Structure 1
Amino acid sequence: MLARVWSATVVGIDAVKVGVEVDVSGGLPKVIVVGLPDTAVQESRERVKAALKNSGFAFPVRQITVNLSPADLRKQGPSFDLPISIGILAASEQIDPTYLNDYLFLGEVSLDGSLRSVAGVLPIAVTAEKLGFRGIIVPKDNAQEASVVEGIKVYGLSNINEVAEFLQNPFSFTPTIFEEEEDNNNLLDRVYNLRDVKGQNHGRRALEIAGAGGHNVIFVGPPGAGKTMLARRLSSILPPLDFQEALQVSQIYSVAGLLKNKGSLIRERPFRSPHHSASGVALVGGGSFPQPGEISLSHQGVLFLDELTEFKRSVLEFLRQPLEDGFIVISRAKQSVLFPAQFTLICATNPCPCGYFGDSIQPCTCSPRQREQYWAKLSGPLLDRIDLQVVVSRLKPEEMTTQKTGESSEIVRERVKKARHIAQKRFKGDNITCNAQMQTRHLREYCILDDSSRNLLEGAIRKLGLSARAMDRILKVSRTIADLAEDEYLKSHHVAEAIQYRTIDRMV
């Protein structure tokens, strides 16, 4: 007898429906799995056989052919264990197949028949809702994750026996209800709050501008000046994710198998800080079956690269395209996968190998040649894409010993929210959420310069040798500074402040 069960597999952060066709026929007892299965899917034969026997079902002593369609799409992971199990039971007439076509099944089975959680459930639930399925059957541990999606019933079950009972009478089971978890932003504020930063008014101002406009930042200064301390507090002043942003971020973490550590829906903006020994694949993603890397895990959040010049130059060059486009395309022989990567880049580095070039107390021991080689690790095109280049100087003794602190993250976040609201209102209908995402046509419309501002910018371009991209970055920062001041038009002092954030252009 032939039976068909519906499941799905993840490609990028989207899901594709997969039909699991099972045929039980005469012949020597064996299980054949076709349809481009990977090793984990091939191994499901032994897991399913033991799980069905230990659950009290009879495993057919006949030839069983399992076809995963479409046949030209590579199938991976253990999530097909459950649909294969249900297909075998339906094809051998051990369960009622009446409701099979109404539901989508996925889950890994243990040898005792219990269901284990799998990765990628959230995007699969999104696809199941779009395709019009009545519901989705998942392991109990994945139920809350899938229940985020409105418009589809989610049933979290514990073992194969429960699934068989469900198919006998689906209407006797209660679907899982999404339970909103406590917002973690308050915890973030307690751990990393701007009130802990003493002095560094210039750096604090740069953080506020970066948060309001989504601009990339690099802090340059001697060891212990507070570069990392400032950088780690950017997340605490960013506005919370709205539902659509949270859903997209959660889908990325679901595909990466990291959502179980974050709850069912990620509400706080991601903050990722990879070590400087990270490879290019770790940063941008990849593998035989492409998985999201650090830049995609930072989507709608912050990617912090500490000790920037210690990263391999070839690895840093991978950042250029996603910084400009907001996504990364990973191409393999049989498929190309797109991952979103709309993140704010924040970096920290010393000004030279010894770390004390320009320091007011500790003399620099590096030669000009050494400093030149040190900065050569960062290419001009990459630096062009960093909007705010800020020198963080050593604190004065009286600043270090004082108990006085600056504004808290809560106060600064309110100003950031207000500036972002102004930008979102301006770009309504353009699919843009902050000034850093402006395109050329937006610059022409919203960054009009008067004669004084134009002369100031032309002088900076000549003196610093700025590229057209660097000029656009200055205009975007100027627009954000004007939004923070609630000014409709750009003024010369907005442009002047934006120009002063081209520190490295004056150093190298």
Structure 2
Amino acid sequence: MAITKINTVGLRGMEGYRVQVEVHMMEGMDSFTVVGLPDASVKESRERVSAALQSIHSPILPGKTVVNLSPAEQKKNGPMFDLPMAIAILKNMDVIHTQISADVGFIGAVSLDGTVVSVDGMLPAILAAKKLGFKTVYVPYDENLPTLKFDTVEVVHVSNIHDAIQHVSGQNLLPLRQREKVPMVAQENYSKTFEQIIGHQQAKRALEIAAAGGHHVLMTGPPGCGKSMLAEAFPSILPSLTHDELLEKILVNLQTTLESVYRKRGWYNGLAMDVTL
């Protein structure tokens, strides 16, 4: 059989890189080998994927199956390679006849019954797929993740391997309804604003220039001269976050278990405050 190649995303911390899942099925003793510096959770994918394909009545053909995760020099972590492995094997067995282009990615783990499930790192992987130039990304449906919509990337939510096969083959999927959640963009509520501050014209002018140009600010002076007051009012004049900045802030806030994201920027006074970019 020819070698089948399916694309996905690997993670180094919260940074993503493109991974190509290569599958070659050949004559030989029955075996399923995963190479390409997989960790223990990736090596266990062979058992999950084998059982999942058996559950959907598309068992792996007898013989030797080799899965290579390229680039081979990068260590692969986590079970999010399960879905691309399953799709690559099904494509190699001609269960999927449609050509899958290099700008289509698959991310997610699979259960033994063929269900596609979410794992840690899904949101960073989706955002990385956008930066890497993917046009379509298949991901598991997870009501706990925010609904992300991009102009350049189509995010397709699938519940099981059958859903992915049907959509890849050109069939439309019924939209998955997500649970009502706290909105990701909350109403800004500032305790202090610039219009409430009387005087300090020179300092306010400097902060306005810094806000307009995106410059850093260092305020010095004796206690009680108004540094903290100006710093607390500073976010009220900052421009709204761009779309990419908002996505990065969503990512940081989800990593710190915060429930809402504000479209405004924050400030840092050297102590503990809200997560800021």
Same fold (TM over 0.5): yes
CA distance in 2, matches of 1:87, 1:12: 26
Q: CA deviation at 1:31?
A: 1.1
CA distance in 1, matches of 2:272, 2:96: 58
Distance 1:24 1:347, change over 3 A: closer
CA distance in 2, matches of 1:39, 1:104: 23
Question: What is residue 345 of structure 1 aligned with on the other side?
Answer: 270
Using CA pairs below 8 Å that are at least 6 residues apart, which structure has the higher relative contact order? 2
- 1:117–1:139 Cα contact (<8 Å) kept: yes
- 1:102–1:133 Cα contact (<8 Å) kept: yes
CA distance in 2, matches of 1:159, 1:50: 13
- Of 208, 217, 223, the residue aligned with 2:229 is 208
- 2:7–2:102 Cα contact (<8 Å) kept: yes
Question: What is residue 488 of structure 1 aligned with on the other side?
Answer: none
Distance 1:97 1:64, change over 3 A: farther
Q: Give the aligned residue type for 1:242.
A: L
Identity %: 31
Q: When the two structures are superposed, what TM-score results if normalisation uses the length of structure 2? A: 0.71
CA distance in 2, matches of 1:44, 1:262: 32
Question: What is residue 475 of structure 1 aligned with on the other side?
Answer: none
Q: Give the aligned residue type for 1:28.
A: M
CA distance in 2, matches of 1:86, 1:142: 24
CA distance in 2, matches of 1:114, 1:262: 27
**Residue correspondence of structure 1 range 339-488 to structure 2 within 5 A:** 343-346=268-271
Does 1:181 find its partner at 2:183? yes
CA distance in 2, matches of 1:61, 1:238: 66
CA distance in 2, matches of 1:30, 1:104: 26
Q: Give the aligned residue type for 1:57.
A: S
CA distance in 1, matches of 2:108, 2:272: 40
- The Cα offsets for residues 267-287 of structure 1, whole Å up to 9 and x where unpaired, read as 377xxxxxxxxxxxxxxxxxx
- 2:6–2:100 Cα contact (<8 Å) kept: no
Question: What is residue 53 of structure 2 aligned with on the other side?
Answer: 52
Gaps of 5+ in 2: 193-222
CA distance in 2, matches of 1:10, 1:344: 32
- The Cα offsets for residues 361-396 of structure 1, whole Å up to 9 and x where unpaired, read as xxxxxxxxxxxxxxxxxxxxxxxxxxxxxxxxxxxx
Distance 1:92 1:347, change over 3 A: closer
CA distance in 1, matches of 2:151, 2:132: 13
Q: CA deviation at 1:68?
A: 0.5
Q: CA deviation at 1:42?
A: 0.9
Does 1:267 find its partner at 2:273? no
Q: CA deviation at 1:65?
A: 0.5
- The Cα offsets for residues 326-383 of structure 1, whole Å up to 9 and x where unpaired, read as xxxxxxxxxxxxxxxxx543269xxxxxxxxxxxxxxxxxxxxxxxxxxxxxxxxxxx
SS for the counterpart of 1:23 is: strand
CA distance in 2, matches of 1:94, 1:157: 18
Q: CA deviation at 1:98?
A: 1.1
Question: What is residue 72 of structure 1 aligned with on the other side?
Answer: 73
Question: What is residue 218 of structure 2 aligned with on the other side?
Answer: none
More helix by share: 1
SS for the counterpart of 2:245 is: helix
How many residues in Structure 1 have an aligned counterpart in Structure 2? 241
Distance 1:213 1:240, change over 3 A: closer
CA distance in 1, matches of 2:227, 2:93: 67
Q: CA deviation at 1:20?
A: 0.4
CA distance in 2, matches of 1:40, 1:240: 43
Question: What is residue 248 of structure 2 aligned with on the other side?
Answer: 248
- 2:103–2:135 Cα contact (<8 Å) kept: yes
CA distance in 1, matches of 2:85, 2:44: 12
Q: Give the aligned residue type for 1:103.
A: V
Q: Give the aligned residue type for 2:155.
A: V
CA distance in 2, matches of 1:207, 1:69: 51
Q: Give the aligned residue type for 1:208.
A: M
Q: Which runs of 4+ in 1 moved over 6 A?
A: 174-180, 237-240
Does 1:166 find its partner at 2:155? no
Gaps of 5+ in 1: 195-201, 215-236, 270-299, 303-342, 349-432, 435-508
SS for the counterpart of 1:345 is: coil
- The Cα offsets for residues 298-345 of structure 1, whole Å up to 9 and x where unpaired, read as xx657xxxxxxxxxxxxxxxxxxxxxxxxxxxxxxxxxxxxxxxx543
RMSD value, Cα: 3.8
SS for the counterpart of 1:89 is: helix
- 2:39–2:77 Cα contact (<8 Å) kept: yes
- 1:105–1:136 Cα contact (<8 Å) kept: yes
